[in-house]
Amino acid sequence: MIRRGAHALAHLLTSLVLGPATFVWALLTTLVSGVLSFTYLAPPAFLLVTWMTRRIAGLERLRAALVLGRPVESPYSAPLRGNPWSRGRALVREPATWRDLAWLVLLFPAGLAGGLAGVLVGLVDLGTILAPVWLWAVPNPYLPPVVDWLFNTTGGRFVLTVIGLLLAPAVWWLVTTAARLQATAAAALLEPGPRQRLARRARELAVTRRRVVDAQAAELRRIERDLHDGAQARIVAAGMTLALAERKLRQTGQTAGADIGTARRQLDEALAELRRLVRGIHPPILTDRGLTAALAALAGDAPLPVEVRASELGDLPPAVESAAYFVAAEGLANAVKHAAAAACTITIERGGDTLSVAVHDDGRGGADATGSGLDGLRRRVEALDGTLSVTSPAGGPTTVRAELPCAL
């Protein structure tokens, strides 16, 4: 209560001081830029001025954030490159540049109004509450009778304190509202506008999409290599062995039992290799019986006790299902391989349109969240607009957690 009031009052006070200053800054810089715009000094001057303006606007964002109790994002697009001319042009085209300037001009009247309403009333009330402390030092002759008693006697001054305290809630409301109005106006101008929000979202999507495409391509290359070096090579080798056996039989009539045995073993290995590869692409049980059953199977195959806690998940998009499965599989594999865990829990639940899957192990922790396995998972999850978090302090425990939006 008191803190919010104090914040609000401080905000209004600083606005009163800053308003004229920023107004003068905005006016001067605009004038200077305007005059210089006909000379070759325009771009560097404009860049410098904008850089300063953005620092001031940043300060304004901080002030607004304090009052609003939430962060106020900065709207600027990525740092600029190129020569001063092209950078200047980019700045001119950026709406944020002009919105900053608009606020710096507006802060003057807004600060004045808020200051008069809030600060005056606030300070008068504060003075009234503290009357016994200071009124005796200020002589007030020639006052009307009642006021004279209030001002010039100790008892009266204490009555003033009571009156001030009674008025305090109303004053508190006025001060905080004035400050909040100011901060809201500041945020409205200084935060990313709808156009920038869209542009930013589009940029994010472009980045995640590129990552998805890259991850997909890498995955296909991996599959091709695995087929080429694994199953295909084994099958060819088995064919060679059989060809030799056949030749022996045909030419010399000697037995070829050993060769045929070798060929059979090579073919078995090729099949095992293919099965492993297929499971890595998309586990068949996921297709046949859904996520919960696939996770139970995963837990059953693990070399350590794994508990699966799954609630009713309903219908899930196949991409989400498979991403959730691989988050669990990778988390489990890491727990076995790196964490030396004794037990592991896989929790999967759906809250509305979000599916969350978490793998928790009691191992030694210290997992590298940027490692290739976890990074691949992150891409896969981000591609679906989800998030992946890894908490793994040294000494454990480790939790890998993914939140996946799953609106069908």
Partner 1 sequence: MRVVIAEDLLLLRDGLVRMLTDTGHDVVAAVASAPELERAVADQRPDVSIVDVRLPPGFRDEGLRAALAIRAREPRTPILILSQYVERVYAAELIADGQGAVGYLLKDRVTALDDFLDALERVAGGGTVMDPEVVRQLFARNTGDQGIAALTAREREVLGLVAQGLSNSAICAELVLAPASVEKHIGNILTKLDLPPSDDTHRRVRAVLAYLNQ
Write down the residue that tokens 């060929």 correspond to.
263
Beta bridge pairs of residue 391: 399
> Judged by CB under 8 A, how many residues of this single chain contact partner 1?
17
Q: Is the separation of the CB atoms in 96 and 60 below 8 Å? A: no
The two structure tokens encoding residue 399:
């939790």
Distance CA 388, CA 356 (A): 10
* Member of 233, 274, 293, 336 binding partner 1 (CB under 8 A): 233
Nearer to partner 1, 190 or 263 (CB): 263
Nearer to partner 1, 229 or 301 (CB): 229
- Shorter beta-carbon distance to partner 1: residue 276 or 337: 276
Stretch of 103-111, 222-230, 345-353, 361-369 contacting partner 1, by CB under 8 A: 222-230
Residue of 221, 219, 212, 222 whose CA lies nearest to 381: 212
Q: Which of residues 236-265 bind partner 1 (CB under 8 A)?
A: 236-237, 239-244, 246-247
Nearest-approach distance from CB 239 to partner 1, in angstroms: 3
Percentages (nearest 5) of helix, strand, coil residues in the chain = 70, 10, 20
User: CB neighbours (10 Å) of residue 61?
Assistant: 22
Q: Is 368 helix (H, G, I), strand (E, B) or coil?
A: coil
Q: Within 172-211, which residues bind partner 1 (CB under 8 A)?
A: none
Would you say 243 or 319 has its CB closer to partner 1? Answer: 243
Rounded Cα distance, 208 and 205, in Å: 5
Min dist CB 88 to partner 1, Å, is 46
In our burial notation (b when 16+ CB lie closer than 10 A, e otherwise), range 302-335 reads bebebebebeebeebeeebbbbbbbbbbbbbebb
Q: Which is nearer to partner 1, 224 or 301 (CB)?
A: 224
Q: Does 231 bind partner 1 (CB under 8 A)?
A: no
Task: Provide the minimum distance between the beta carbon of 257 and partner 1 in the complex, in angstroms, as a whole number.
Answer: 16
Question: Which 8-state DSSP code applies to residue 70?
Answer: S
Footprint of partner 1 on 351-380 (CB under 8 A): none
CB nearer to partner 1: pick between 244 and 310: 244
CB closer to partner 1 out of 231 and 400 = 231
**Shortest Å, Cβ 265 to partner 1:** 12
CB 328 within 8 A of CB 289: no
Residue 259 CB, nearest approach to partner 1 (Å): 10
Q: Which is nearer to partner 1, 242 or 328 (CB)?
A: 242
Handedness of CA 41, 43, 49, 51 (dihedral sign): negative
Nearer to partner 1, 219 or 349 (CB): 219
Nearer to partner 1, 58 or 230 (CB): 230
Nearest one of 332, 333, 325 to 357, comparing CA atoms: 325
Among 7, 157, 234, 338, interactor with partner 1 by CB under 8 A: 234
Specify the DSSP element, H or E, that contains 346.
strand 344-351
Which of the ranges 53-61, 142-150, 231-239, 279-287 carries the binding residues for partner 1, by CB under 8 A? 231-239
Helices 84-93 and 42-68: crossing angle in degrees, nearest 10, is 40
Half-sphere exposure of 397 toward its Cβ, with a 13 Å CA cutoff?
A: 14
Region binding partner 1 by CB under 8 A among candidate stretches 75-83, 230-238, 297-305, 346-354? 230-238
In the list 161, 208, 232, 354, the residue contacting partner 1 (rule: CB under 8 A) is 232
Q: Which of 225, 265, 276, 337 binds partner 1 (CB under 8 A)?
A: 225
Q: Which residue's CB is nearer to partner 1, number 197 or number 228?
A: 228
Site for partner 1 contains 228 (CB under 8 A): yes
Q: Give the shortest CB-271-to-partner 1 separation in angstroms.
A: 15
Angle, CA 316 vertex, CA 389 and CA 286 arms, to 5° = 85
Minimal distance in Å, beta carbon 318 to partner 1? 30
267 is a contact residue toward partner 1 (CB under 8 A): no
Q: How far apart are CA 158 and CA 175, in angstroms?
A: 24
DSSP secondary structure string, 198-213? HHHHHHHHHHHHHHHH
- The CB-of-228 to partner 1 minimum distance in angstroms stands at 6
- Residue 293: CB partners within 8 Å, gap ≥ 6? 285
Q: Which residues contribute to the site for partner 1 (CB under 8 A)? A: 225, 228-229, 232-234, 236-237, 239-244, 246-247, 266
